[in-house]
Amino acid sequence: MSKTKIKVDYSKCTAPVDCKQCLGVCQPAVLILTFTDKDFYNPKDWKIFPAFPGLCIGCNLCVDKCPENAITVSLK
């Protein structure tokens, strides 16, 4: 069984709460919005984070959907 490695480039992904297209396409809901240390209570500063890499099926839908090409999914 092969596993995938998901990387999010935060220099390209700057406004995830406004865009959030990758969240909508991911079938097993691997990517989630998570808090940042800067401001925990303000969701505007939250970022996209691959929380459950073990559940990723490697369909690359999020890679195709991302307008900034910030996500890369590679086989381990």
Partner 1 sequence: MCKFCLKHGANGKWYLNAQNYLKKESEKFEDTREYLEVLWGNLERVYLGKTYGLSINKTLDYRLKMPLLGRVIKAVVHRKLEKEKNPNPLIAESHLGQVIPLEEAKMITTTLADISVKANCPCRFKHRGIKEASCLGFTALAEVLPKLPRYIPENGLEVLDADKIELFLDTMNKKGKVHTIWAGPLPYIAAMCSCEYPQCIGLRTRIDFDVKAVYKGEYIALVEPDKCIGCGKCASRCQFGAMNFAPTLNRPIIDARKCFGCGLCKESCEQQAIKLIDRNEIPITRGMY
- Residues of this chain that interact with partner 1 (CB under 8 A) are 16-17, 20, 23-24, 28-29, 32-35, 40-41, 43, 49, 51-55
Question: 38-44 contacts: CB < 8 A, separation 24 or more?
Answer: 43/17, 44/17
Q: Least distance to partner 1 from the beta carbon of 71, Å?
A: 15
Q: Are 6 and 53 in contact (CB under 8 A)?
A: yes
CA–CA separation, 47 and 14 (whole Å): 8
Q: Least distance to partner 1 from the beta carbon of 44, Å?
A: 11
Q: Least distance to partner 1 from the beta carbon of 60, Å?
A: 19
Q: Which is nearer to partner 1, 32 or 63 (CB)?
A: 32
